[in-house]
């Protein structure tokens, strides 16, 4: 009998197309199943990548989706130990820049929240683990 390999995660969003942006982190190269980061900061995110958006109690209006995606990708690369924790500040600042570019009125408040309170999300134990079902 075959086993089922899966991750039980409640994501809010899934990309319906490939996406390219800048992570705000330079000098690093890494790749996962859905993410490829180049040394120039360009990040390629493949179709079907899923993320959970801004953490509760934050709201997730459309003007936070791109920033939330890039921020979640950056933190995931840190949790996977593909980027050092020292990249947190650059990722947080890129999050702020994107929120401003996308005209989110609460950009400063959301940046303050991730800057001061989001370090727990860098912990590798926060990354969903693969489970096996009989």
pLDDT in tens, 78-110: 999 999 999 999 999 999 999 999 999 999 999
- Take residue 119 and report the two structure tokens written for it: 């370090």
CA distance 76 to 73: 5
H-helix or E-strand containing 131? strand 131-133
CA distance 89 to 87: 6
Cβ pair 70, 95 in contact under 8 A: yes
Residue 133 is assigned to a structural domain of this protein? no
Residue 55 is assigned to a structural domain of this protein? no
Residue 118 is assigned to a structural domain of this protein? yes
Residue 40 is assigned to a structural domain of this protein? yes
**How high is the pLDDT of residue 4?**
52
Through-space distance between the first and last CA atoms of the chain, rounded to whole angstroms:
8
Residue 32 is assigned to a structural domain of this protein? yes
State the total domains in the chain: 1
Residue whose C-alpha is closest to residue 58's, from 110, 98, 14, 111: 110
Instruction: Report pTM.
Output: 0.85
- Domain extent, residue 30, equals 14-50+61-122
Residue 45 is assigned to a structural domain of this protein? yes
Residue 74 is assigned to a structural domain of this protein? yes
Q: Is the dihedral of CA 8, 13, 18, 24 positive or negative?
A: negative
* pLDDT tens digits along 6-64: 455 678 889 999 999 999 999 999 999 999 999 999 999 999 999 888 776 667 788 99
Residue 129 is assigned to a structural domain of this protein? no
């Amino acid at each position: 009998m075959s086993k089922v390999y899966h991750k039980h995660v409640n994501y809010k969003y899934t990309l319906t197309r490939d996406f390219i942006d800048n992570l705000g982190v330079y000098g690093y190269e890494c790749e996962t199943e859905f993410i490829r980061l180049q040394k120039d900061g360009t990040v390629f995110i493949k179709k079907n990548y899923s993320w959970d958006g801004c953490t509760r109690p934050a709201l997730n209006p459309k003007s936070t989706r791109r920033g939330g995606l890039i921020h979640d990708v950056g933190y995931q690369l840190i949790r996977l130990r593909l980027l050092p924790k020292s990249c947190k500040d650059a990722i947080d600042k890129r999050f702020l820049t994107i929120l401003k570019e996308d005209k989110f009125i609460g950009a400063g408040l959301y940046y303050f929240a991730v800057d001061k309170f989001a370090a727990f999300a860098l912990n590798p134990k926060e990354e969903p683990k693969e489970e096996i079902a009989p």
